[in-house]
Amino acid sequence: MTSENQTALGGRLVVVGGGTAGAEVAFASRSAGWTGEIIVLSDEAYAPYHRPPLSKDLLKMDAVFADPDPLKGAPLYAKKNIELRLDSRVDGIDATARTLSMNANHSLSYDRLVLAVGGRARQLPLIAQLETRPTNVHELRTLDDCARLRSCFQTGRVLMIVGAGYIGLEVAAAAVKAGQRVILLEAAPRVLARVTAPVVSQFFEREHAKRGVEILTSTTIDNLSFGADGRVDRVATSDGAEYQVDNLVVGVGLEPNIELANDAGLEIGNGIVVDDSMRTSDPNILALGDCVDFHSGFYDRRVRIESVANAVEHARRAAITLTGGDPKPWQVPWFWSNQYEHSLKIVGLSTGYDETRVIDDSAGTSFAVEYLRDGRLIAVDAINHAAAFQSGKRRIVETIHA
Ligand SMILES: Cc1cc2nc3c(=O)[nH]c(=O)nc-3n(C[C@H](O)[C@H](O)[C@H](O)COP(=O)(O)OP(=O)(O)OC[C@H]3O[C@@H](n4cnc5c(N)ncnc54)[C@H](O)[C@@H]3O)c2cc1C
C-alpha cells in the first residue's frame, strides 16, 4: 500500500448518490479497510433502495405499496459507522480545494470523492420544450415516480407508453394486468430492437399482444393536444392515427448525470470517463455505476452499462482502489427482466454479433438465444431457462479468456 493510500484511509470519503453503486461502495470501502469518515449524500428522501421492483412487483396492483425495499437496513449504517444524509443535493465540486457544495449553501470537504450519480430518464423533445410538464406524463426512475404512476392505474383508463425497451415492456405488463387499455409505441421496427435478436422480440410481442397490449412499431408521436388543465389528452401518431389517452409513460432510455463531473473539469465521454480502477481524470475522484464510461476488461472496449450487477462490481472495484488492495478480474455483465410469468436473463453484451443460435425452443416458451462473433460465444438471452443462463455464463468466460 502506498503512503498516499495509508493517509487517505483515515480521511473523509464522500459518496455522492444513494443508489446501488453509492450504497455498495460505502459498505465495501468500510469492509476493505477505510477507517475514516464515510458520508453518503443522496438527493432522494429514502435510504438507498432496490430499483428493479419499481417497474415490476411494486407496479402490481395486488402488491402492497410499502416502504421501499432498502439495500441495507438502517441499523447497518450505524453499525458500520456510515453517515447517510438524505435530501442532500450536491450542486458543485471544487476539485482543487477538495470541497463540494450542497443544497445551494452548505459546503463539505473530502479526501476522496466518489460520484455514483446514476442517470435520469431521457425526455421526448415535444415534452421537454413545454413550459410546464403535464401531470399525466410519467417517467420511471425513482420510488416517487413509481408511486405517482401507480396511483393513475385504474380499470378502463388508457395508458400510452412510448418506448418498448425493458422498462416500457415491464410497465405494459403491469398496466394491462390492472385492466387498462395499453398502447405501446416503438420507433424501431420491433420491441427490444437495440438489445436482442428478432426471435426474442417476437416472443415478447406475442406475449404482450396475447394480453391485449396494442403494439405499434415503426411509429412515433407526431403531435400532442392538451386539455384545459394542461394534461395531454390526445396523441397523434406518425401512422396517421389519433388516440385519446389518460396517461403517458416515456421510457426512451437514460441520460447519465455528467453535469457535476463536467463542471469540475473531469473527462467526459459516453458518461464520466474512468480507468480500470474507477478513477476519473482527477485521481482523488472516482465514479461508478450507470453514470460511467469505463473500459470493460472483459470485452476489452469502452462501455456504459445500466444494471445492478454492474453497479455492484464497480463499487467493489472502487473500494479496492480506495484502500490499496489488488483489483479482481472483471466479471461478465448480466441483467434480468420479468414480464407476466416470464423471466428473461441476459448474460454478456451481444453488440457486434454476426451469428445467433436458438436452443431448446421446442415448447416455444423456454428457450435461449446464443450470440456469437467470429464463432465465439459473447452473450446469451435465456427466456425461462435458468440452465442456459448458467451454462452460457460459464462458456462466455471460457471463450473470452481462451
Ligand atoms: C424502473 C427500473 C427498473 C430496473 N430494472 C432492472 C433490472 O431488472 N435489472 C437490473 O440489473 N437493473 C435494473 N435497473 C437498472 C438498475 O437499477 C441501475 O443500473 C442501478 O440502480 C444503477 O445504480 P446507480 O447507483 O449507478 O444509479 P442510480 O440507481 O440511478 O442512483 C443514483 C442516485 O444518485 C442520486 N443523485 C444524482 N445526482 C445527485 C446529486 N447531484 N446529489 C445527490 N444525489 C444525487 C440519484 O437521485 C439516485 O438516488 C432498473 C432501473 C429502473 C429505473
- 308 CB under 6 A from ligand 1? yes
Distance of CA 220 to the CA centre of its chain: 24
| pLDDT for the residue 361 | 73
Ligand 1 atom nearest residue 306's Cα: 19
| pLDDT for the residue 16 | 98
- Residues 323/286, Cβ–Cβ less than 8 Å: no
- 260 CB under 6 A from ligand 1? yes
Other C-beta atoms within 10 Å of 307: how many?
Answer: 17
How much distance in Å is there from the Cα of 51 to the middle of ligand 1? 6
Nearest one of 322, 296, 285 to 24, comparing CA atoms: 322
How much distance in Å is there from the Cα of 133 to the middle of ligand 1? 22
How much distance in Å is there from the Cα of 275 to the middle of ligand 1? 21
Going from the C-alpha of 100 to that of each of 104, 109, 260, 392, the distances in angstroms are 10, 6, 10, 44
| pLDDT for the residue 69 | 82
Ligand 1 atom nearest residue 338's Cα: 8
How much distance in Å is there from the Cα of 345 to the middle of ligand 1? 19
| pLDDT for the residue 30 | 98
Alpha-carbon gap, residue 83 to 77, rounded angstroms: 7
Ligand 1, atom 4, lies closest to the CA of 52
Determine the 3-state secondary structure of 127 from DSSP. helix
| pLDDT for the residue 62 | 64
pLDDT beneath 50: ranges in the chain: none
Ligand 1 atom nearest residue 54's Cα: 1
Q: Which amino acid is at 357?
A: R
| pLDDT for the residue 145 | 94
| pLDDT for the residue 66 | 63
| pLDDT for the residue 65 | 62
- 117 CB under 6 A from ligand 1? yes
Nearest one of 7, 5, 14 to 112, comparing CA atoms: 14
How much distance in Å is there from the Cα of 20 to the middle of ligand 1? 7
